[in-house]
Amino acid sequence: MHVVYPAVVSALLFATGVYGVLARRNAILVLMSVELMLNAVNLDLVAFDVWLRDALHSGQTLTLFVITLAAAEIGLGLAIVLLVFRTKATINVDELSELGERPR
Amino acid sequence: MSGFWLPALPALAALVGFATLRLGPALAARLAVLGGSLAVLAAVVAVGGRPWLTPTVTDLATISTGGPQIHVAARLDGLAAVIALMVTVVALLVQVYSVEYLRGDPRYPIYAAFVSLFTAAMLLVVVADDLVLLLVGWEVMGLCSYVLIGHHRELPQARAAALKAFLTTRLGDAFFLVGIIVYGLSFATFRVSPVMATLTQPPAGWSSSHLATAIALLLACGVVGKSAQFPLHVWLPDAMAGPTPVSALIHAATMVAAGVFAVVRLYPLFLASPTTLAVLGVLASITMVGAALAALVQDDIKRVLAYSTVSQLAYMIGALACGGRTAAVFHLLVHAAFKALAFLAAGSVIHAVGSNLMSRMGGLSRALPVTSATMAVALASGAGLPPLAGFFSKESVLTAADETARGLGLGTAAPWVGWVVLVSASLTVALTAAYSVRLLLRTFAGPARGPGGAHEPSRLMRWPLVALAVPASGLGVAGLSAAWLPTWVGPWPATSLGPGALTSVVAVGLALASGLGVWTLWRRDPSADPAAALGRLQEPLRAGFHVDAAYGRLLIRPLKALARAVLVVDDRGIGATVHGAGAGTVAVSVGLRRLQRGNAQSYVGAALTGVVLVVVLAAAAAFG
């Protein structure tokens, strides 16, 4: 299989993730979009590992790291979303602007 | 005997005095008189050791500076011993007199301690064999004069006079310091006697006489400030705001004498620079005539004496300009005696009358017989009436000027300098007699104008007057033989200081004529001021030729304007940049802060746009 197929799929996945992070207002969907981007990278890492015939398989090793980190990150992120919902009764990211400059 | 004993004893008295300020005036008075007596004793021992035969040089320690070393060295030679004797005697009499004069003054203890310190500083100048050490004494004297002139600190004019004295002498001292530094760098030492010994061997042929002129002129600036010569004379008449004994001390023994003494000490250096001698001669001539004219119309008895001091100091500087080293020292000693006496007598009059103004005195000779007699001796000596001491010392100055004018002088000055000094000195002889007679007549003769009940002060104030009247009248003998004073204060061609025939006839004639003139004027109306005959000339003379006003207009006002301009630049220019940087940063940041709305997605969008832009640009650079 030519490396261009997984690369194109990965690019599409990443673009979808970017769109989701930038455009979705629901915090859980934003987190899911982040997962999409991470997995696009994972796909790339595995594909290029095979294509380049890396003797140490560093691409696959790194993928395992990313999966672990993604799991931890989504756990933390979902916990934060839960707490935000309890205090603000909303998980809409564009309503969570307390840290920004107040418009004068 | 080490020369350091002389300043050490009064310095010790001053230190103990400062430590025991709270123990009352009785102890302070005993301490001051004891310290003064010990200093006189030390000076007598010093003179008794005939130091002109074998000068003692003591080098206690050296201080390395990276440049020439500073030696803590003293030189006790005939000059130092004789001047020290004069200083200590006058200081002791001033201390005794002050005990009575300042009785009941709450600040007497600190006053007495500062007078002791003043004496110690002057003695340090006298014995110092290193210019840095000399400068230490010189500056300590500046400090003491500031404190003592401002003794009545509740009076605004006393504070102003103290500040003026300090700043005016400081102006000269700045040049003096530079002169010392140049001296140290050119001779690779700050020591005095070794350098002077090398300079004395070839008096006229010193190779680098431009350097000599530079050093001598810089040092002369300090001398002009300290010895109150034109154009830095303005502090001395105002220094009258201090207590009268302090005036006696400053005018006779210390401070102003230090300037003349410094020139005498460094005389070979000044001789190597005829330019400096000419400058000093011209300045002295202006000063002696101008100050004597100003003294003619003053109403304040102390101001008359102050201008008289300025004028008499100019005699010494004029003598030095004409190669009259011994004559200058002679006049310095005699002047110390008669001017200290005049000031102490004036203090006695002020003590009795309660005013400084001669328009409130008059007819006091009956009530104050001792004071009036001693004052008459002092003024007659100052006016140069034979056979009083002032006649001989003034004659020696005139002779030095006369010899220089005829090209026979011992110095290196041009004959015209001698002429200038000779003419102005002869003119000043007449003026001196005039103001002396006027002061005597206005104070002690004629109808009484002040409140009655004036009486002689107690013995503590009378005895110093009588004691000083002896040298003021008899000291002239010391100059009559070449083996006496001229040898003691050498090394300098020891010629007799006896009066010359022509100069003495002219000077005494002028003095008698002008004195008689004033007396005739006064006889017409004993209650009026003889100076009224000067008419409209009185006003500028009384104001000292408006020198103060001119300085105010030419120097002080532009300086103040400059200071204000600097303040404006500092505030609106430099300050504005600092404040503007802060305010500008805040103003710029307002726009940037508007972007931070708290919407995390817009941040990510901006970051992504940036990444895309960078990638596109990098790709364009790589492939384009």
In angstroms, what separates the C-alpha of A94 from chain B's closest C-alpha?
5
Contact B599 A21 (CB under 8 A): no
Average pLDDT (B274-282) is 88
Q: Identify which of B593, B594, B601 has the shortest CB distance to residue A94.
A: B601
Write down the mean pLDDT value for chain B: 85
Q: Identify which of B593, B598, B608 has the shortest CB distance to residue A99.
A: B598
In b/e form, how buried is each residue of B292-303, taking b as 16+ CB within 10 angstroms? Answer: bbbbbbbbbbbb
Q: What is the mean pLDDT of each run of 10 residues along chain A (104 residues)?
A: 91 94 91 94 93 90 94 94 92 83 62
In angstroms, what separates the C-alpha of B553 from chain A's closest C-alpha?
58
B210: contact with A, CB 8 A cutoff = no
Q: Which residues pair with B74 in a beta bridge?
A: B58, B128
Cα–Cα distances in angstroms (integers) from residue B353 to residues B362, B453, B457, in the given order: 10, 8, 11
Average pLDDT (B38-61) is 85
Contact A96 B598 (CB under 8 A): yes
pLDDT value at position A39? 94
Contacts B596 to A, Cβ<8 Å: 100-101
- Per-residue 3-state assignment (H helix, E strand, C coil) for B195-264: HHHHHHCCCCCCCCHHHHHHHHHHHHHHHHHHCCCCCCCCHHHHHHHCCHHHHHHHHHHCCHHHHHHHHH
Residue B491, helix vs strand vs coil: coil
H or E element: which one contains B490?
Answer: none
Put simply, the chain B residues between 381 and 400 with a CB less than 8 A from any chain A CB are none
pLDDT value at position A103? 58
Amino acid present at A100: G
Q: What is the pLDDT of residues B179-217, one digit of tens each?
A: 998 888 888 888 888 888 777 654 444 555 678 888 888
ipTM of the complex: 0.81
pLDDT value at position A84? 92
Number of A/B CB contacts below 8 angstroms equals 33
Cα–Cα distances in angstroms (integers) from residue B465 to residues B118, B253, B343, B534, in the given order: 21, 15, 10, 33
pLDDT value at position B615? 94
Structure tokens at B534: 């000067």
In angstroms, what separates the C-alpha of B621 from chain A's closest C-alpha?
23
pLDDT value at position A87? 92
pLDDT value at position B120? 92
Contacts B603 to A, Cβ<8 Å: none
Q: How far is A78 from B351, CA to CA, in rounded Å?
A: 101
Q: How far is B136 from B129, CA to CA, in rounded Å?
A: 12
Contact A101 B605 (CB under 8 A): no
Cα B133 → chain centroid: 18
Contacts B601 to A, Cβ<8 Å: 21-23, 30, 93-94
- Which chain B residue has its CA at the smallest distance from A25's CA? B601
pLDDT value at position B203? 46
pLDDT value at position A7? 93
Better-predicted residue by pLDDT, B65 or A21: A21
Q: What is the pLDDT of residues B407-435, one digit of tens each?
A: 777 777 788 888 888 899 888 988 899 88
The mean-pLDDT minimum among A50-54, B395-399, B447-451 falls in B447-451
pLDDT value at position A17? 94
Q: Give the closest residue to B421 by CA, choosing from B271, B288, B229.
A: B288
Q: How far is B378 from B304, CA to CA, in rounded Å?
A: 13
Contacts A23 to B, Cβ<8 Å: 601
In angstroms, what separates the C-alpha of A75 from chain B's closest C-alpha?
20
Q: How far is B254 from B262, CA to CA, in rounded Å?
A: 12
Amino acid present at B93: L
pLDDT value at position A5? 93
Confidence of residue B566 (pLDDT cuts 50, 70, 90): very high
Whether the pLDDT of residue B553 is over 80: the answer is yes
Question: Full-prediction pTM beyond 0.90?
Answer: no
Contacts B600 to A, Cβ<8 Å: 93, 96
Q: What is the pLDDT of residues B106-153, one digit of tens each?
A: 888 888 889 999 999 999 999 988 889 999 999 999 898 899 888 888
The mean-pLDDT minimum among A34-43, B375-384, B481-490 falls in B481-490
Q: Identify which of B593, B605, B608 has the shortest CB distance to residue A101.
A: B593
For helices B274-295 and B209-226, angle between their N-to-C axes, nearest 10 degrees: 20
Q: What is the pLDDT of residues B233-245, one digit of tens each?
A: 888 888 888 888 8
Contacts A92 to B, Cβ<8 Å: none
In chain B, the percentage of residues whose pLDDT exceeds 70 is 97
Put simply, the chain B residues between 562 and 621 with a CB less than 8 A from any chain A CB are 593-601, 604-605, 608
DSSP assignment string, B506-561 = HHHHHHHHHHHHHHHHHHH-TTS-GGGGGGGGHHHHHTGGGHHHHHIIIIIHHHHH
